Structure 1
Amino acid sequence: MSAAHAGPDPACEPAADEAAPVTVLVVDDEELTRAGLRALLSVQHGLEVVGEASDGAEVLPLVKRWRPRVVLMDVRMPRLDGITATKLLRSELTDPPKVVVITTFENDAYVWDALLAGAQGFIRKRAPIAQLAQAIRLVAQGDSLLFPDAVRRLAAQQPAPPPRAVGGTRAASLTVREEETLRLMARGLSNQQIAHRMAVRLETVKTHVGNVLGKLNADNRTHAVVVAYETGVLVPGGRASDDHQRF
């Protein structure tokens, strides 16, 4: 039997606006984990859990039905894992939801593969609920990298990449300003913070970010940073800027 839970009828939902809650689909094969996350997230300001799924195979149809802004996705599931489910969302939908991977171990190789598949970030299952809620809000906002220090540490654990070769796209095609934008994205800075750091207009930063995503064949800014680490465009050394979000 499916573990999918009905949410509100999308036809009755109010139009999305700045005040609308961030809708969330919880995906985990453990019933107690799902129930706990649903209960805890449901009382967090600005969040609304619209449904649950016990396996990755349920994710795509439920996303089509309830249109959540964020999917909180377990990675290891018995039938269809979270990596494949994330790939399906990105290949089958023109406007897929954001995906946050929930994991037991931060250095799980599956997490890196999920980020390469297009997930926007990851967080440990034992994280404080306030931290998880804030992570979901930030991912829904979409203009900064979630936990850049953790992404960099995970990148450092991967095999050494070939130098500056991006899957058929020349890394050298990045301009100096685009590379600078990419480095600041990797530190977790938002578009507004990047604009301030580079002393340019916000619209210019948005253009640079769009160009970076296109040249790295990335679906989102997290994916771009992960691809850059994976292919040697960025090297995961040193500490990130203090400008990134703190929890």
Structure 2
Amino acid sequence: MSLRILLADDHAMFRSGLKAVLSTQDDLCCVAEAADGRAAVEETIRLAPDVAILDIRMPRLDGLRAAERILGRPGNTTKVIVLTTYDDDSYVYSALRMGVSGFLLKSVPPEETIAAIRIAHRGDAIIDPSVTRRLISRFASGIAPPASSTEVERLTAREREVLILVAQAHSNTEIARALGIGDETVKTHVSRILAKLGLRDRTQAVIYAAAHQLVAPLPPLPPGSERAGRHRGGARHRAL
């Protein structure tokens, strides 16, 4: 059964190009398009697509406000991915706080957008590693005041280890390898961490760990690493 996708962008040519990319995938189907945020919300309510892809800069209602309305509706099942040409941390933070499942730059290769749709649908979140690094550095440097440690103290020592590794953008497989445990055990730990801390998903766990100063700023990516990643054709983004 195909995943049902809504595309919202005020540039018809961009929508057309992305729709053409989706049409090459047997498991993806564009069920609606919208040229502004208000129409995106209306179409999402009407069709309940599996994933809505929203541009941040749109007339009538911007992508962030549209995402907020979609995700805030009782019983909503649509996952939201936000697209932008602006690599701005304030957009990232606002989008993640709302519970979006992905934050992608419009410049990413088509295969990465396709991967992000599938990742979002299965309940994970995706964000560019370089953005994750800046976000963590921003909080860890003290821009956000540390919160009470009461909730953190509910975590076991192993859960705290897992939370820190999640916040450093490591995959379940990488965490399992680092701690010498199985992938399913990692998933169990992550589920318990989210439940204990009252978090919605792994993306919020990143924000939580940074705000509580559980992680130090990550080192910058090596010079040219992102360019090299694109030349290899590999996905630069990682599911959180």
Q: TM-score, normalised by structure 1?
A: 0.75
Amino acid at match of 1:124: L
Aligned to 2:95: 114
Aligned to 1:162: 145
Aligned to 2:32: 51
Residues 117-136 of structure 1: pairs in structure 2 closer than 5 A: 117-136=98-117
**Following the alignment from structure 2 to structure 1, what is the Cα–Cα distance between the partners of residues 89 and 58?**
14
**Following the alignment from structure 2 to structure 1, what is the Cα–Cα distance between the partners of residues 96 and 72?**
15
**Following the alignment from structure 1 to structure 2, what is the Cα–Cα distance between the partners of residues 23 and 191?**
27
Contact residue 138 and residue 146 of structure 1 kept, 8 A: no
Aligned to 1:70: 51
Aligned to 1:184: 165
Residue among 129, 135, 143 paired with 1:148:
129
Aligned to 1:207: 188
Residue among 154, 172, 176 paired with 2:153:
172
Aligned residues: 221
3-state SS of paired residue (1:235): coil
Describe the superposition over 1:116-169 as per-residue Cα deviations: whole angstroms up to 9, x where unpaired.
Answer: 111122111122212222222222233464433422224434662212448xx6
1:29 counterpart = 2:10: yes
**Following the alignment from structure 1 to structure 2, what is the Cα–Cα distance between the partners of residues 57 and 222?**
26
**Following the alignment from structure 1 to structure 2, what is the Cα–Cα distance between the partners of residues 73 and 221?**
21
CA shift for structure 1 position 38: 1.6
Most deviating of 179-188 and 116-125: 179-188
Contact residue 75 and residue 111 of structure 1 kept, 8 A: no
Percent identity (aligned): 38
3-state SS of paired residue (2:29): strand
Q: TM-score, normalised by structure 2?
A: 0.76
CA shift for structure 1 position 103: 0.8
**Following the alignment from structure 2 to structure 1, what is the Cα–Cα distance between the partners of residues 47 and 208?**
30
Q: Which runs of 5+ in 2 are unaligned?
A: 222-233, 236-240
3-state SS of paired residue (2:115): helix
Amino acid at match of 1:35: S
Contact residue 168 and residue 218 of structure 2 kept, 8 A: no
Residues 1:155 and 1:113: Cα distance change in structure 2 (over 3 Å): farther
1:102 counterpart = 2:64: no
Most deviating of 225-234 and 120-129: 225-234
Contact residue 133 and residue 219 of structure 2 kept, 8 A: no
Amino acid at match of 1:214: A
Q: Which runs of 5+ in 1 are unaligned?
A: 1-19, 241-245
Aligned to 2:205: 224
Contact residue 82 and residue 103 of structure 2 kept, 8 A: yes
Residues 1:145 and 1:216: Cα distance change in structure 2 (over 3 Å): farther
Aligned to 1:238: 219
**Following the alignment from structure 1 to structure 2, what is the Cα–Cα distance between the partners of residues 145 and 77?**
22
Residues 1:224 and 1:184: Cα distance change in structure 2 (over 3 Å): same
